[in-house]
Amino acid sequence: MADEKTGTPEEQPGDPRAAEVPSVPVDRLRAAMAESVEEVRYWAGVPIVRVRRDDVARVLEFLRDDPDCRMNHLSTLFATHWPEGEHGTLEVTYCLYSTVHGHLLTVKAWTRDEEPVPSVAEVFPVADWNEREAYDLVGVRFSGHPDLARILLPDDWEGHPLRKDYPLEGKPGDHKSYR
Amino acid sequence: MFRTQELEINMGPQHPATHGVLRLLLTLDGETIVGMKPIIGYLHRGVEKLSETRTYPQIIPYTDRLDYVASFAENHSYVGAVEKLLGIDPPPRAKYLRVILAEFQRIASHLLWLATHALDIGAMTIFLYTFREREKILDLFEAYCGARLTYNAVRIGGMPFDLPDGWVDAAKRMLDEFPVRLQQYETLLTNNRIWRKRTEGIGVIDADTALAWGLTGPSLRGSGIDYDVRKHLPYEVYDELDFDVPVGERGDTYDRYLVRMEEMRQSRRIILQALENLPDGDVMTRVPKRIKAPAGAEAYFMTESPRGEMSVYLQADGSDKPYRVRFRSPSFNNLQALPVLSKGHMVADVIALIGTIDIVLGCVDR
Amino acid sequence: MQTFLEAFLVPAIQAVVVVLLMLLAVAYITLLERKVIAFMQVRIGPNRVGPRGLLQPIADVVKLLLKEDIVPAKADRFVFWLAPILVTMTAIAALAVIPWAGTDATLHVLGYEIRPVITDVNVGIIYVLSISSIGVFGIVLGGWASHSKYPLLGGLRSAAQMISYEVPLGLAIIGALMIAETASTVKIVEWQARHTWLFWLQPVGVLLFYIAGVAENNRAPFDLPEAESELVAGFHTEYSGMKFAFFFLGEYISMIVVSALVVTIYFGGWLPITFGLGYLVPAIPAALSGAWGGPGVHLAFGVFWFALKTFLVLYVYLWLRATFPRYRYDQLMEVGWKFMIPVSLAWILFTGVALLAFDALAA
């Protein structure tokens, strides 16, 4: 059905769930920041916009401040590890909602290990802990983050457990805090 | 020879008022807070990682353990996300059942919130009064699914059971006496001078700041924004039901208290309407035995849990297990705003503020 | 001329009796508190040890005696040990001047005169106030000696609370002393026997005194030094076993002292409750105070009425605890300095003016 490891959209053509829906923020983004938008696709009625990694903070700021978009609520932010992804190995997803106009939008930025994604903590303070969590569990680096430390795991934890190459089983002694 | 020194104090992870294993590193000048750093992760169980190794239906019991005082809301949120991912439409009776149980869950959760919030501020009697009513709701849940706390009571494509005989009458009896009980709580607190002194003007946050810090649910509505997922992005049958979204004005602890009290009344209204309009028919739709989602499919489903916006993001890879599950927990995001709320307040206010943002550590640490 | 035995031995025996009775009373007040609050909170309360839980206090005492007595490693051992004793001793000492029956209940045993009060000093009320202010040092020292952060904060809070509420506590009773023209606990009740309960003349005074007394005893809604929600257990966080029990004992005896003082100063001490019928039919108060019997009967009736009134005042303590949230530290100071002190000063002024006016009219 699909290439299991790449995560590229390979759903069957004509799947009604992938149908395009009209979206003001996508139109505005295409008009104002066309060079940042790399790809737009849809699933279950929500547009999913892939943007250039280095522009992500600017894109979110534009979406927040543009009077037609007013995407003022960053609902969540998380990272996914795609070891053989087409656009990179780490994908950061931003879920935005406008409490003014009711738009929903998913923004994505792709990166590779050690290549930082611009932090959006300046634009949305709520991103602070969410980015720390993405760093802690998946290992995404964020540039410009005020305090990129582990948040859920102990400070001396090794590795990032939500990566697909993280071992699911272990023996005593594999980790220094596991005795 | 003499000098003043700021006192660093660890509140938690074991502390009677941090509602679990929250640790706050406080810097105090006398009793005034000059710095606060929440330290979390003591209850991290890796639910998101565990979910990657389980099939779609197997994940539902894990969601019980996120927000263990409102586990129905978490079940609902996860199942809703799977249904949105796959385009499954549950039968109308199942939708009504979900609304009824979700609103009962909201009342139960708010009662627990009121109990602990008041207890932290020193009013201990209200704790036992609210537990009396919560007990009745838990009895209703027990009659429905056999469990009192971790229900595991939603299935992909509907609900596991229909209502047992006499359940509707029992629910109506509980709802009939509920306004009287609610009035009793209000008598003890709403116009109590000490209660007002302890909550008015404490933890004031204006609407824009609250939204920027990701506050949702009653914590956000206390600041005057009417963002309620049930109204903004209606799911199940909320768009067919008539209810109001209470909002506060000043964004302080007292307004958030009033908002939650009114929400309980609105939930009662919703349940009564839903019980009235409850359609007949099946509670389960036909779903494949092995639930698979096509690669590239991803869905974000938002619900209004008692604590705020509880959302689930699912990414599929074509197998019968999700590739990535993201639980957007309201407690995690609300807790983040605690240092903002507590700026310039005193130690005793921290306790009131932990109560007012209504966190559950299972939901924070996942 | 009193002999040595009369001056020393008789009060000593009385003191031992009073202390033992107090220990028993405190044990059962804890049970009462748990039962009363359970009743207010729609639950049952202790009901496992003995019939209806009546042996629960005994079980508690045994538990506290047998518990390991932990002293924190860095604690100042002497002060840590001294603090609970200071709290309890001062609370007990204050009981010395509380009369539990009238002078007509004086017994004569083996030629010794046994009065129904351990000692009647002419500054009895002031003695109670000064002794109780020493008691708070026990709390401050206990918080400090634990060498731990939460007890330290609790101790600091109680220091501030002590200073703030000592003042209105003292000012509140001045009105009553002005009217009765005495500071002796026995004479003030005798004045009330001749006239009327001072409560009717000093309604504001009794309220102020009671509120300040609740704050002085660190009871809800003023239980900040041991605020369990923010300071874990406040000044006694590090205490366990018998030392903890002594803090507990001190707190409950202080409650009894304040209640007994309220009864003595404002509600006519050992006088019977007659709902004003004494003015119509003087025989009723006489009958209710056992005037038909000898000193033994007088004593029994006096103690009964005194204990009943004290219990009713104590009950309000429990009621308050079950009803109110807790004040915040700065709000407590605000209530003390901005409300209690000005109002009590104004009340003294009002009482003085009223007394002068009354004298002028009478003359």
DSSP for A12-35, please give it: PTT-GGG-----HHHHHHHHH-TT
**A 100-129 residues with CB < 8 A to B:** 102, 104, 106, 124-126, 128-129
Instruction: Give pLDDT, residue B20.
Output: 77
Question: In residues, how long is chain A?
Answer: 179
CB atoms < 10 A from the CB of C190, how many? 17
Please answer yes or no on whether C153 and B194 come within 8 Å at the CB atom. no
Instruction: Give pLDDT, residue C276.
Output: 63
Chain C residue numbers with beta carbons less than 8 Å from the beta carbon of B349 are: 328
Instruction: Give pLDDT, residue C236.
Output: 78
Greater confidence (C4 vs A135) lies with A135
Going by C-alpha positions, the residue among A6, A2, A3 that lies closest to residue A81 is A6
Alpha carbons B6 and B26: distance in angstroms, whole number: 10
CB atoms < 10 A from the CB of A148, how many? 20
Please answer yes or no on whether B124 and C42 come within 8 Å at the CB atom. no
Alpha carbons A147 and A160: distance in angstroms, whole number: 18
Q: How far is C37 from chain B (nearest CA, A)?
A: 8
For residue A11, pLDDT beyond 60:
no
Q: Hey, what are C313's tokens?
A: 């005042």
User: For B360, left (φ over 0), alpha (ψ -120 to 50), or beta?
Assistant: beta
CB-nearest to C43 from B123, B128, B350 is B128
Instruction: Give pLDDT, residue A14.
Output: 62
Going by C-alpha positions, the residue among C344, C340, C337, C343 that lies closest to residue C171 is C344
3-state secondary structure of C300: helix
C260 part of a folded domain: yes
Going by C-alpha positions, the residue among A89, A87, A91 that lies closest to residue A79 is A91
Helix axes C341-362, C203-216, angle to 10 degrees: 150
DSSP labels, B117-185? HHHHHT--HHHHHHHHHHHHHHHHHHHHHS-SS-----BTTB-SSPPPTTHHHHHHHHHHHHHHHHHHH
Q: Hey, what are C214's tokens?
A: 């609740």
A45-72: pLDDT as tens digits: 788 888 888 888 888 888 888 888 888 8
B321-332: pLDDT as tens digits: 888 899 988 888
Picking from C148, C224, C229 by the largest number of B CB atoms within 10 A of its own CB, the best residue to mutate is C229
Alpha carbons B126 and B172: distance in angstroms, whole number: 23
Q: What mean pLDDT value characterizes chain A?
A: 80
**Can chain B be said to touch chain C, i.e. do they have 3 or more Cβ pairs within 8 angstroms?**
yes
CB-nearest to B346 from C37, C232, C329 is C329
Q: Hey, what are C74's tokens?
A: 């860095």
CB atoms < 10 A from the CB of B321, how many? 19
Q: What is the DSSP-derived secondary structure letter of residue A1?
A: -
A108-132: pLDDT as tens digits: 888 888 888 888 888 888 888 998 9
Domains by residue range for chain A, with CATH:
33-174 (3.30.460.80)
CB atoms < 10 A from the CB of B53, how many? 11
Give the containing element (helix H, strand E) for A110. Answer: strand A104-111
CB atoms < 10 A from the CB of C187, how many? 17
Q: Amino acid identity, residue B197? A: K
Question: Residue A7 — very low, low, confident or very high, per pLDDT cuts 50/70/90?
Answer: very low
Q: Say whether residue A144 is in contact with chain B using an 8 A CB cutoff.
A: no
> First vs last Cα of chain C: how many Å apart?
41
Please answer yes or no on whether B129 and C229 come within 8 Å at the CB atom. no
Domain B43-365 CATH superfamily: Cytochrome-c3 Hydrogenase, chain B (1.10.645.10)
Alpha carbons B279 and B215: distance in angstroms, whole number: 36
B365 in Cβ contact with B39 (< 8 Å) = no
Please answer yes or no on whether A126 and B333 come within 8 Å at the CB atom. yes
For residue A6, pLDDT beyond 50:
no
In degrees, rounded to 5, the angle at the alpha carbon of residue B190 between the alpha carbons of residues B132 and B270 is 60
Alpha carbons C142 and C151: distance in angstroms, whole number: 8
Chains in touch with A (3+ beta-carbon pairs under 8 Å) read B
B234-255: pLDDT as tens digits: 888 888 888 888 888 888 889 8
CB-nearest to C331 from B125, B129, B197 is B197
Q: Hey, what are B69's tokens?
A: 């005082």
* pLDDT tens digits in sequence order for chain B, 366 residues long: 677 778 888 887 877 776 778 888 888 887 788 888 888 888 888 888 888 888 888 899 888 888 888 889 889 899 998 888 888 888 988 989 999 999 999 999 999 999 888 888 888 888 888 988 899 899 999 999 888 888 888 888 888 888 888 888 889 888 988 998 888 888 888 888 888 888 888 888 888 888 888 888 888 888 888 888 888 888 888 888 888 888 888 888 898 999 999 999 999 999 999 988 888 888 888 888 888 877 778 888 888 889 888 889 988 888 888 888 999 888 888 888 888 888 888 888 888 888 888 888 888 888
> First vs last Cα of chain B: how many Å apart?
49
C223 part of a folded domain: yes
Going by C-alpha positions, the residue among C262, C252, C250, C257 that lies closest to residue C309 is C262
C74 in Cβ contact with C237 (< 8 Å) = no
CB atoms < 10 A from the CB of B274, how many? 24
Alpha carbons B202 and B214: distance in angstroms, whole number: 19
**Could you tell me which chain B residue has the CA closest to the CA of A102?**
B232
Chains in touch with B (3+ beta-carbon pairs under 8 Å) read A, C
C253 in Cβ contact with C22 (< 8 Å) = yes
Intervals of chain C under pLDDT 50: none
B214 in Cβ contact with B308 (< 8 Å) = no
Q: Say whether residue B184 is in contact with chain C using an 8 A CB cutoff.
A: no
Picking from B213, B230, B298, B341 by the largest number of A CB atoms within 10 A of its own CB, the best residue to mutate is B298
Instruction: Give pLDDT, residue A146.
Output: 85
Helices (H) and strands (E) in chain B, counts: 15, 6
Please answer yes or no on whether A75 and B233 come within 8 Å at the CB atom. no
Q: How far is A4 from chain B (nearest CA, A)?
A: 6
> CA of C32: how far to CAs of B275, C29, C222, C252, in Å?
46, 5, 21, 12
C162 part of a folded domain: yes
Instruction: Give pLDDT, residue B107.
Output: 92
CB-nearest to C221 from B28, B132, B194 is B194
> Which residues in chain B belong to E strands, given as ranges?
7-11, 23-29, 32-39, 298-305, 308-316, 322-328
Q: Amino acid identity, residue C255? A: M
Please answer yes or no on whether A11 and B296 come within 8 Å at the CB atom. yes
DSSP labels, A24-80? HHHHHHHHH-TTTEEEEEEETTEEEEEE-GGGHHHHHHHHHH-TTT---EEEEEEEE
Alpha carbons B341 and B205: distance in angstroms, whole number: 7
Instruction: Give pLDDT, residue A1.
Output: 37
Chain B residue numbers with beta carbons less than 8 Å from the beta carbon of A9 are: 295-296
Q: Facing residues of A106 across strands?
A: A48, A95
Please answer yes or no on whether A95 and B315 come within 8 Å at the CB atom. no
Q: How far is B135 from chain C (nearest CA, A)?
A: 13
Alpha carbons C139 and C134: distance in angstroms, whole number: 10
What is the number of domains present in chain C?
Answer: 1
Q: Hey, what are A174's tokens?
A: 């594999």
C-alpha neighbours within 13 Å on the C-beta side of residue B181: 22
Domain range for C127 is 70-362
**Could you tell me which chain A residue has the CA closest to the CA of B324?**
A80
B109 in Cβ contact with B115 (< 8 Å) = no
CB atoms < 10 A from the CB of B107, how many? 25
